[in-house]
A and B are shown apart, each in its own frame.
Chain A
Amino acid sequence: MLERTDYRAIASRFRSLVALLLMVLAFSIFADGFLSVDNLWTVMRQISVNTCLSVGMTLVILTGGFDLSVGSILALSGAIMAGLLKFGTQLEALDLYIGYQAPAAILIGILAGAFLGLFNGVAITRFKVPPFVATLAMLTIARGLTKLYTGGEAITGLGEAFVSIGSGRLLGIPNQVWIAAGIVVAVAVLLKRTRFGRYIYAVGGNEAAAQLSGVNVKRVKLMVYTIAGALSAVGGLIVTSRLNSATPIAGEGFELDSIAAVVIGGTSLSGGKGSVLGTVLGALIIGVLNSGLVIMGVDPFWQTVIKGFVILLAVVVDRLNAKE
């Protein structure tokens, strides 16, 4: 009976790591050009968006919730940033035009994402809508708003300063990798070393016990959805600046990859168990798989099928081990 759970959690994380290394090894052998510095950065760059979304998703899932709206929030906040940069704001009544510098546009975009997340949280805590339903509704609402806002067309030509975020490097490392890494570290610290982080685990582990212990369960839930919304907006920032364009279909289906990363990373869908580190491994596994399969020239349709089986396998292995 010695610390069985701790041992298991470590073992499960270790398994993800071994799986990741085995995949890297296999692709290095079978996919010509997979193992190169250039491709490494490409993979890291590709997963940076999913990492942002998945980290937020991890918080939500740790409380026992769920968030389907991350992809749509990404699109809407990205479009807001692009719209503000490109067109500014016209206040006709006052005959006033406001232009935006990149930092202001980014800030407003992220606040918009946080607000949409908060909206999810209010629906879930105040009106007791199941998270699955509330965020499914937001998935549709935010996507629709994005299409309205962009008029169904991409907003492009966003200016040097904004675009450099997605294409520049700092100390040789792509900016978006820095951003994703910063978020991972910040949220990992938040989870493990702050009261709020402990409350997240407590709410997901046993909501009734947490409430009786003085945890403000509603506030914790509101916060995680708000953070998930803000992190989706950061994903929107990366996508939009990288492409120098905000499209109405940006981020479609991203919620699935982010849920996959969380699940592969060993976080329990019933809440209370999991870690950001696991999620990062999950995102890496998906990223490496994508890249390797592309380089090997596997039919894209088959790639999707394979990814599905990997998710299934990850969970099945976890379950079998839980049973001993």
Chain B
Amino acid sequence: MVAVEHNEVVLAAEGITKRFGGIKALDGAHLSIQAGQVHAVVGENGAGKSTLMKVLAGVHRDYEGRVLLAGREVAFANPRQAQEAGIAIIHQELNLIAQLSIAENVFLGREFLNPLGLIDFRKMYDEAGTLLDKLDLHVDPRRSVSELRVGQQQIVEIAKALALDARVIIMDEPTSAISEREVEVLFRLIASLTQRGVAVVYISHKLDEVSRIADRITVMRDGRTVGSRACRELSHDDIVRMMVGRDVDEFFAKAEVARGTEALRVEGIRLDHPDRPGDYLVRDISFSVHRGEVLGLFGLMGAGRTELFETIFGLHAQSSTGRMSLGGAELHASSPLDAIEAGLALVPEDRKLQGLILDMSVTANISLASIAAVERCGFLSERRERILAADYANRLRIKTASQRQSVKNLSGGNQQKVVIAKWLATKPKVLLLDEPTRGIDVNAKNEIYKLISELAAAGLAIVMSSSELPEIMTIADRIIVLSEGRQTAEFPRATATEESILKAALPRSLSAS
């Protein structure tokens, strides 16, 4: 490690402007990163955080303004040059090659060679093993990355950065896909990195995390730097005010709705593990949800929430068992089509992978699951389709330049609303929402909460999963906790506490210790 003075400015951006076509993604943004500090960059989606990071990491070249590395102006031609200069970026979507081993990923492009010019695997595995130990990840570096959980993959990314002797590590929303326990591991890692003089730039939506670990906070809005202060000088409200540029009126509160009749009942749902015979991903889950009720499903990563939803929705008909009934009538869903016809709707966890056809228009995405409704004599009626989509787009306040716009050009929050609109258009009786606020900004989150509350008030039965405690405690009337595929607890909202929920959610081996 190069000797660095703590608190010395290692990397600075001055007056950075970056345009995409006619749109300014960055408008004179500045940022100054000090060695040995955690510098959080916060802002709503579209505020320009990621773009600024890509400028620093050499991904974007054509920008105005200056990037200074240890006081000297630099212009990286590509990410590799930035890496060699000691700037590593860990993207939200991890950049690992799934088929290669951990060690091969860590040393990709810089493999150790033996005298014959072939790869010296022994040395590579040894070195990778040492790095992983340092990072508290106790897995064999020969294993392929595809076998690791997301949190573990992230640590491999950090190992990669360390192998490069990075002086600045940029982490883009590192906790968006990992469990609370893995978050703790990550935070410990970050602390040890800063002790060694590494500067960590931490991008996140989660203010709790930010105020916990950051030394300094920079708030961005509309491509500009709104302010940069020491963390202890800022309260949450201050930060939120800087982010949105106005006072936050109030926190969201879900309206109380009288519970209606039973809408969905599931009993003894069980899903086989695809690789391990005799093991299960979902074990004997039973619950019921009533009209007007929001049932919260809390669980950490790997708890089986997504698998449970998928099983209910008919995606694993071959490998699952259990009984379901919808509005009193027995339901056999052997495909999503059956589930949809019975009145179920599933907003999947990953909207880009499973929710949207990114190249299709807003209209076509909204109408996709209910397209039979806009048919006339076997042909699609463009007019009916437009009306149907516009109706739901208005109701959900989807912001788009035009209905014909591809959804890939929409912000995360609006994309999520498109997915929800698609499902509402099928006029479901039960709405299953798998992590509906993942990766969307504060404002959009509040809008989604409001929407869920309205839908419940209108008599829809809603099951919503989340891995964020404050969220589930705000929105759910009743909370079921899953851990390793098992149902470990159930609380009405009134008696639920963060501690009790989390305790039930921790895997047994851990909570015992």
Contacts and interface: CB of A to CB of B under 8 A. Distances in A.
Interface of A: 1-6, 189, 193-195, 198, 201-202, 205-206, 208-216, 272-273, 324
B356 interface: yes
Interface residues on B, range: 35 or more
Interface in B372-403: 372, 375, 378-380, 382, 401-402
A103 to B, nearest CB: 26
B359 A194 contact: no
A6 B23 CA distance: 18
A214 B402 contact: no
A193 B369 contact: no
Given A5-B359, A202-B357, A212-B313, A193 B379 contact: yes
B364 to A, nearest CB: 7
Contacts of B348: 209, 212
Nearest to A192: B380
Interface stretch (B191-199, B334-342, B493-501): B334-342
A206 B368 CA distance: 12
Interface string B151-187: 0000000000000000000000000000000000000
A272 B336 contact: no
A2 to B, nearest CB: 5
22 contacts: A1-B21, A1-B23, A1-B401, A4-B409, A5-B406, A5-B408, A195-B372, A198-B371, A201-B357, A202-B368, A205-B359, A206-B358, A209-B354, A209-B355, A211-B336, A212-B336, A212-B354, A212-B355, A214-B340, A215-B368, A216-B335, A272-B359
Contacts of A6: 361, 404-406
Nearest to A193: B379
Closest 3 CB pairs of A and B: A205-B357, A213-B369, A5-B406
B484 to A, nearest CB: 25
Contacts of B364: 198, 201
B346 interface: yes
Contacts of A216: 335, 337
A35 B322 CA distance: 71
B356 A273 contact: no
Contact of B360 (A189, A202, A208): A202
Given A1-B401, A2-B402, A194-B379, A214 B369 contact: yes
A205 B358 contact: yes
A302 B405 CA distance: 44
B357 A272 contact: yes
Contacts of A206: 353-354, 356-358
A213 B378 CA distance: 19
B305 interface: no
A188 B388 CA distance: 24
Nearest to A195: B371
Given A205-B357, A210-B368, A213-B368, A198 B380 contact: yes
A163 B354 CA distance: 51
A208 B21 CA distance: 32
Nearest to B374: A195
A194 B371 CA distance: 10
Given A198-B364, A211-B336, A3 B313 contact: no
A193 B406 CA distance: 18
A3 B368 contact: no
A194 B377 CA distance: 10
Nearest to A206: B357
Contacts of B405: 1-3, 5-6
B478 interface: no
B422 interface: yes
A189 B379 CA distance: 9
A213 B358 contact: no
Nearest to B372: A195
* Interface secondary structure of B, over-half rule: mixed
Contacts of B353: 206, 208-209
Contacts of B359: 5, 205, 272-273
A253 to B, nearest CB: 32
Given A213-B368, A324-B21, 20 more contacts: A1-B409, A2-B401, A3-B401, A5-B405, A5-B406, A5-B408, A193-B380, A195-B372, A202-B360, A208-B353, A209-B355, A209-B357, A210-B357, A211-B315, A213-B336, A213-B422, A214-B336, A215-B337, A272-B357, A272-B360
Contacts of B337: 214-216
Contacts of B341: 214
Nearest to B340: A214
Nearest to A197: B380
A211 B316 CA distance: 12
A194 B380 contact: yes
A277 B68 CA distance: 51
Nearest to A216: B337
Contacts of A195: 371-372, 375, 380
Interface string B15-28: 00000010100000
A205 B277 CA distance: 34
A229 to B, nearest CB: 23
Contacts of A212: 313, 315, 336, 346, 348, 354-355
B357 to A, nearest CB: 4
Contact of B356 (A2, A5, A201, A209): A209
A35 to B, nearest CB: 39
Max chain A C-beta neighbours (<10 A), residue from B313, B337, B346: B337
Contact of A198 (B315, B335, B368): B368
Interface in B265-287: none
Nearest to B23: A1
A248 to B, nearest CB: 40
B142 to A, nearest CB: 28
Nearest to B350: A208
A202 B355 CA distance: 11
Nearest to A271: B359
A2 B341 CA distance: 36
Interface string B306-348: 0000000101000000000000000000011100110000101
Contacts of A5: 359, 405-406, 408-409
Contacts of B335: 216
A202 B407 CA distance: 13
Nearest to A270: B359
A2 B355 CA distance: 23
B378 A194 contact: yes
Contacts of A215: 337, 368
B24 to A, nearest CB: 12
